[in-house]
């Protein structure tokens, strides 16, 4: 994770983002994405290994999450917040 030293002055300590993607990446960096991917996949393994998992459970079809898939999901999630459709099904 990126560390930013605390100062008592009110100032911007990172370069200002030039576009929305750069602003997003100020908060969601590669370390955080790697952590989310690693923990999501580890949780899927734990849940899939449980004794009470039924044979037809969706967890049995789990495919390993990649950072690219996570970025796509987050992009779609953010995009749905910028457009207005009549029904949740339309998204």
Residue 1 has pLDDT above 70, yes or no: no
pTM of the model: 0.75
Cα R_g (the chain), whole angstroms: 19
Distance CA 46, CA 63 (A): 14
pLDDT mean over 38-60: 91
Distance CA 38, CA 22 (A): 23
pLDDT band at 43 (very low <50, low <70, confident <90, very high): very high
CA dihedral 56, 57, 60, 63 (to 10 degrees): 130
Q: Is 66 helix (H, G, I), strand (E, B) or coil?
A: coil
């Amino acid at each position: 994770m990126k560390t930013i030293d605390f100062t008592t002055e009110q100032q911007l300590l990172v370069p200002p983002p030039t576009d929305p993607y750069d602003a997003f990446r100020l908060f969601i960096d590669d370390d955080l994405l790697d952590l989310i991917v690693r923990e999501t996949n580890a949780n899927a393994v734990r849940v899939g290994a449980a004794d009470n998992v039924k044979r037809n459970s969706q967890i049995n079809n789990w495919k390993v999450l990649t950072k690219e898939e996570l970025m796509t999901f987050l992009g779609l999630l953010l995009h749905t917040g910028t457009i207005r459709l009549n029904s949740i099904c339309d998204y």
